[in-house]
Amino acid sequence: MSIDTIAKADAALAEVVAAFSRLQEESGEPGVVTDYVLVYAAQRWDDEGQQATAIGYAYPPDGQPFYRTLGLLDQFTASLRRRVARAEDDDE
């Protein structure tokens, strides 16, 4: 990935984060998004049609403390596990 491509992606991600800050403001609970993590999967295929998955992540270009990144991921994981558990309970 070129430096220019990464810079463009960072700028686009900054716009998304700013939009979430505006939504936070409009919700009646003002706040500013200060930390974030974007995790994504990219599918690739080689010349023989074999598929490979690459996992990537992005966080603020100026960085953020590792404990904040890990805390965000831990919170998301715990929340997702609760949703899965509730869905399984609903299926029974």
CB within 8 Å of 44: residues ≥ 6 apart: 51, 52, 53, 54
| Residue 27 pLDDT | 85
Q: Which two tokens stand for residue 29?
A: 């609970």
Q: Per-residue confidence at 89, pLDDT binned at 50, 70, 90? A: confident
Residue 92 has pLDDT above 90, yes or no: no
Question: Which run of H or E residues covers position 78?
Answer: helix 66-91
Per-residue pLDDT at 61: 79
CA quadruple 22, 57, 66, 64: dihedral sign = negative
Encode pLDDT of 3-62 as tens digits: 788 888 888 988 998 898 888 888 887 778 889 999 989 998 888 999 999 998 888 878
Q: Are 55 and 49 in contact (CB under 8 A)?
A: no
Is the per-residue pLDDT at 85 higher than 90? yes
